[in-house]
Amino acid sequence: MKRTTKTRLTRGVMYAIFVAAVAALVLAADWPAIQKAFFNVEIARELFPDVVVIAAKNTIIYTAIAFAGGMVLGLVLALMKLSPVAPYRWVATAYIEFFRGLPALLVIFTFAFAVPIAFQWRPPGGSAGAGLLALIIVSAAYIAETIRAGIQAVPKGQVEAAHSLGMPAGWTMVSVVLPQAFRIVIPPLTNELVVLIKDTSLLFIAGMALSQQELTTFARDGVSSVGNSTPLTIAALMYLAVTLPLTRLVAYMERRGARGR
Amino acid sequence: MTSTPAYEHAIDVQQLHKSFGDNEVLKGIDFHVDDGEVVCVIGPSGSGKSTLLRCVNQLEVPTKGRVLVEGVDMSDPETDLNDVRSRIGMVFQSFNLFPHLTVTANLTLAQRRVKKRGKAEAEKCALKNLARVGLEDKADAYPAHLSGGQQQRVAIARALSMDPDLMLFDEPTSALDPELVGDVLAVMKSLASEGMTMMVVTHEMGFAREVGDKLVFMDEGVIMEEGDPAEVLSNPQHARTQEFLSKVL
């Protein structure tokens, strides 16, 4: 048998398996049940406008707060990790390893319930605020590592050039290194942002009043009150409407970055 | 330049040693550059010539020995290193322009941060120095849009914008395409003719012969031979110098 014939035959078999699998799925699926449970137009219609003006809006606000806070804290940690002062490096390393090693859900649960009870502390913004604080703390650990990698990716010659001009270390970092480091880490930072959008769903365990609810909490409450899963479908579509353009943007930026600076 | 300076040499290196781990790169160097003098340093790669130059402005910290710049001890903890560095222009083999800034911003950044000049004054000085290297039309360009030779001339203009008393050149033409070398050397030549004090680590023997006041040949961390460039190049005394020059000339 010629090699080309053999290749063509293997291809043919692979297509056949694919078609068979799809056909089996289509035939086996209970389409009316799926439509009734997940795509009920009446129920979907009733979710609007709250799903947008409350839930989606809160998801975006929580993401923005957690990302902004995570960036500030992450930058501080990255600089500490690169500090010539050893104790700063130890603290930063310990922090980063600790919070990257824990499930975000556990940290949120601790801040929303355990910490307020232990210290008689009323978090600003209620348990949602406490949960957000936990998200900031966790995301800072990941963002710190990303920024540190970016700073170290800036060529050594840049720092030497600044020093040779008499620029002190602080100004060199602010005017020469960080602007270049941030350009390098825009794609991975956007990935962190996408992860964070999804992680705001973990705030559901904090237990929130309607006005505070983000998409997942809103959808789950919707499911239990109408006894139908369509709210989950709508929430999923809302997430995708935000995350898909962002992941496409990252792919675009990485392609552009790969073409050379 | 008219008044007598309060120091003996512009650059005065005394018994300089530098090791990287177990590897001793400089083994007791005595070396000096006088005001208005152009000193070229040649030698095979790994001879320590770049390390010597980088010790002058303390990009490398010497293991032992002293470096005096205009009489200021560079390893004295009391020395304001950034102040002395701002008076020493340095040009790198790999240009090291700031890629995120325009040419003008490259030239004004340190003027404003270190010399505390106002925006207008810094930009005026930047334009003057761009004209000096023949690139006033590239003021708004980004480094990535310039050729290697143009980038290196911008780098020279950046160093000049700090009004340095002396200039260090670390193989300034080694990363350039051959046809671009001439432009950079021409700028360096005109600097030398204006009386700039220069220490130049180079492989350009023609430049050393024509522009240099003194030529230093280094090998394996020591100065093997030094003297008048034409003399050293045409009549090397040391066997290592003869061997090196027979390979590069």
Choose the mutation target among A158, A163, A165 for the interface with B, i.e. most B CBs under 10 Å.
Answer: A165
* Distance separating alpha carbons of residues B41 and B233, to the nearest angstrom: 12
**pLDDT (tens digit per residue) in A118-134:** 998 888 888 889 999 99
Mean pLDDT of B114-143: 96
Which residues, at least 6 apart from A255, have a Cβ–Cβ distance to it below 8 Å? none
Of A157, A165, A171, the CB nearest to B162: A165
- Give the tokens for residue B161: 């914008």
Check CB contact under 8 Å for B114 and A167: yes
Which residues, at least 6 apart from A93, have a Cβ–Cβ distance to it below 8 Å? A81
- Give the tokens for residue B225: 């031979």
Chain B within 8 Å of A49 (Cβ-Cβ)?
no
Q: Write phi, then psi, for B146 (nearest 5 degrees).
A: -105, 155
Interface of A with B in 208-237 (CB under 8 A): none
Residues comprising chain B, all counted = 249
CA dihedral (A118, A122, A125, A130) in degrees, to 10, reads -10
Q: pLDDT tier at B130 (50, 70, 90 boundaries)?
A: very high
Residues from B in contact with A at Cβ < 8 Å: 57, 59, 82-90, 92, 94, 96-100, 109-110, 113-114, 144, 155, 158-159, 162, 168
Of B114, B144, B168, the CB nearest to A166: B114
Which residue did the predictor score with more confidence, B161 or A122?
A: B161
DSSP state of B69: E
pLDDT on residue B2? 52
Check CB contact under 8 Å for A161 and B99: no
Buried b (16+ CB within 10 A) or exposed e, A32-41: eeeeeebebe
Starting at the edge strand found earlier in the chain, the sheet holding B11-20 runs: B23-33, B11-20, B64-69, B72-73
Indicate if the pLDDT at residue B160 is higher than 80.
yes
Q: Are B60 and B117 in contact (CB under 8 A)?
A: no
- Give the tokens for residue A111: 């801040």
Indicate if the pLDDT at residue B1 is higher than 60.
no
Strand, helix or coil for residue B219: strand
Chain B within 8 Å of A155 (Cβ-Cβ)?
yes
**pLDDT (tens digit per residue) in B188-226:** 999 999 999 999 999 999 999 999 999 999 999 999 999
- Give the tokens for residue B245: 């020059």
- Give the tokens for residue A108: 């949120």
Give the number of other Cβ atoms within 10 Å of residue B230's Cβ. 13
Check CB contact under 8 Å for B110 and A162: yes
Check CB contact under 8 Å for A167 and B90: no
pLDDT on residue A261? 45
Check CB contact under 8 Å for A166 and B144: no
Q: Residue A166: its chain B contacts at CB < 8 A?
A: 82-87, 110, 114, 162
pLDDT on residue A122? 82
**pLDDT (tens digit per residue) in A197-238:** 999 999 998 888 888 899 999 999 999 998 999 999 999 999
Indicate if the pLDDT at residue A255 is higher than 90.
no
Check CB contact under 8 Å for B110 and A155: no
Task: Tell me the shortest Cα–Cα distance from B94 to chain A, in angstroms.
Answer: 8
Give the number of other Cβ atoms within 10 Å of residue B3's Cβ. 5
Check CB contact under 8 Å for B94 and A157: yes
* Residue A171: C-alpha distances to residues A166, B140, B199, B247 (Å): 10, 23, 27, 45
* Distance separating alpha carbons of residues B53 and A220, to the nearest angstrom: 68
Q: pLDDT tier at B175 (50, 70, 90 boundaries)?
A: very high
Mean pLDDT of A244-255: 87
Minimum Cα–Cα distance from B100: chain A residue: A180
Check CB contact under 8 Å for B86 and A176: no
**pLDDT (tens digit per residue) in B46-68:** 999 999 999 999 999 999 999 99
Indicate if the pLDDT at residue A168 is higher than 70.
yes
Q: If you count residue pairs, one on A and one on B, with CB atoms under 8 Å apart, how many are there?
A: 68
pLDDT on residue A126? 83
Q: Residue A185: its chain B contacts at CB < 8 A?
A: none
Of A167, A175, A261, the CB nearest to B99: A261
Range of A31-45, A50-64, A219-233, B95-109 with top mean pLDDT: B95-109
Chain B within 8 Å of A256 (Cβ-Cβ)?
no
